């Protein structure tokens, strides 16, 4: 196992990543709504879409914590949320 190397994303990279993730989250919600509307909320595919959306939400929360740690004292509130 390789040792962890600390080389944080730049603030610009965090901003770009957050824009991409917001777009991806929005698209996943749209697709999830379609699948749930067609197959119902108890369908396996609908359930999987909901799990993916939950995982993306957790990822964005984790990245929000990370950017706060990477840039203490900078106004990064709500960058990923």
- What tokens appear for 20 in the block? 């991409």
Give pTM, 2 decimals.
Answer: 0.82
For 14-57, the pLDDT digits (tens) are 999 999 999 999 999 999 999 999 999 999 999 999 899 999 99
Phi-psi region of 31 (alpha: psi -120 to 50; beta: other; left: phi over 0): alpha
What residue ranges do the domains of the chain occupy?
A: 13-69
Alpha helices in the chain (DSSP H): 11-39, 44-70
For 5-26, the pLDDT digits (tens) are 678 999 999 999 999 999 999 9
């Amino acid at each position: 196992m390789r040792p962890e190397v600390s080389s944080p994303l730049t603030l610009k990279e965090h901003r770009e990543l957050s824009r991409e993730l917001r777009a991806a989250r929005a698209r996943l919600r749209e697709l999830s709504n379609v699948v749930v509307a067609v197959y119902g909320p108890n369908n396996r595919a609908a359930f999987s879409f909901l799990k993916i959306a939950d995982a993306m939400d957790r990822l964005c929360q984790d990245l929000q914590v990370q950017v706060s740690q990477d840039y203490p004292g900078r106004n990064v509130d709500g960058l990923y949320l």
